[in-house]
């Protein structure tokens, strides 16, 4: 097997910093949702959010249910297509008692989360908020701010901790900047 570390330019967020960030976000969610009416549903966006979602839910003390959706906005590689397609919908018919907190790995153009927020409100969710581990605010193409943001990062293509390039690097325990030579051929 090839050694993936050769493809990393540098580590942007190490394991310790990620862990601290996840605990801080969990604390804010606990505080904001503990007295709320209805249930809290963490809605992970596949596949990038799975590592963050797993760590985040362990740190929460408020009771949660979980669900997943899968969408595509990336045209493949490192470029976004600008359109959001639902590939797997939320597996719940009645959302009227559900406070949905969408859990994302990273916000880039903002299209995925702004689209999903509207979509879930139209489906009748009691409330819809968004949570992302990483945010690239310089890349925004639509007017959208996530409710909970872990770490703001510069406009670099990153991988690890769930994030991929071409389905690779998701299992790395840190967030790293991918060498440009890997995708600029």
Helices (H) and strands (E) in the chain, counts: 4, 9
Q: What are phi and psi of 151, to 5 degrees?
A: -135, 125
Residue among 33 and 157 whose Cβ is closer to ligand IMP: 157
Nearer residue to ligand IMP within complex by CB, 74 or 119: 74
Q: Which residue in the set 106, 120, 125, 131 belongs to the binding site for ligand IMP (CB under 6 A)? A: 106
- In the list 22, 41, 44, 48, the residue contacting Mg ion (rule: CB under 5 A) is 48
Asked if 66 and 35 touch (Cβ cutoff 8 Å), the reply is no
Assess 158 for contact with ligand IMP (CB under 6 A).
Answer: yes
Residue 47's contacts (CB-CB under 8 Å, 6 or more residues apart) are 70, 162, 164, 170
108 is catalytic: yes
Catalytic residue among 14, 19, 37, 108: 108
Count CB atoms within 10 A of the CB of residue 73.
Answer: 16
- Residue 163 binds to ligand IMP (criterion: CB under 6 A): yes
Q: Taking Cα atoms as reference points, which of 34, 116, 114 lies closest to residue 67?
A: 116
| Contact between 135 and ligand IMP per CB under 6 A | no
Sole binder of ligand IMP in the list 104, 117, 128, 131 (CB under 6 A): 104
Does 109 engage in binding with ligand IMP (CB under 6 A)?
Answer: yes
Q: Hey, what are 47's tokens?
A: 């596949």
Which residue from 147, 175, 145 is spatially nearest to 160, judged by alpha carbons?
175
Q: Residue 98 or residue 105: which is nearer to Mg ion going by CB?
A: 105
What is the contact surface with Mg ion in residues (CB under 5 A)?
Answer: 48
Catalytic residues, which ones?
108
What is the contact surface with ligand IMP in residues (CB under 6 A)?
Answer: 48, 73-74, 80, 104-112, 157-159, 163
């Amino acid at each position: 097997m090839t050694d993936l570390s050769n493809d990393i330019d540098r580590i942007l967020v190490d394991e310790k910093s990620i862990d601290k960030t996840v605990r801080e976000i969990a604390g804010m969610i606990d505080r904001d949702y503990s007295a709320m009416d209805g249930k809290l549903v963490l809605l992970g966006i596949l596949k990038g959010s799975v590592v963050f979602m797993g760590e985040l839910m362990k740190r929460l003390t408020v009771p949660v249910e979980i669900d997943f959706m899968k969408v595509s906005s990336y045209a493949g590689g490192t470029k976004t297509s600008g359109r959001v397609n639902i590939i797997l919908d939320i597996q719940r018919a009645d959302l009227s008692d559900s406070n949905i907190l969408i859990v994302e790995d990273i916000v880039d153009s903002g299209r995925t989360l702004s689209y999903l927020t509207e979509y879930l409100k139209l489906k009748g969710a009691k409330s819809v908020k968004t949570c992302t581990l990483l945010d690239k605010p310089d890349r925004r193409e639509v007017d959208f701010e996530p409710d909970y943001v872990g770490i703001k990062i510069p406009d670099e293509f990153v991988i690890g901790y769930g994030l991929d390039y071409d389905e690779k690097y998701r299992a790395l325990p840190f967030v790293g900047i991918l060498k440009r030579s890997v995708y600029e051929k």
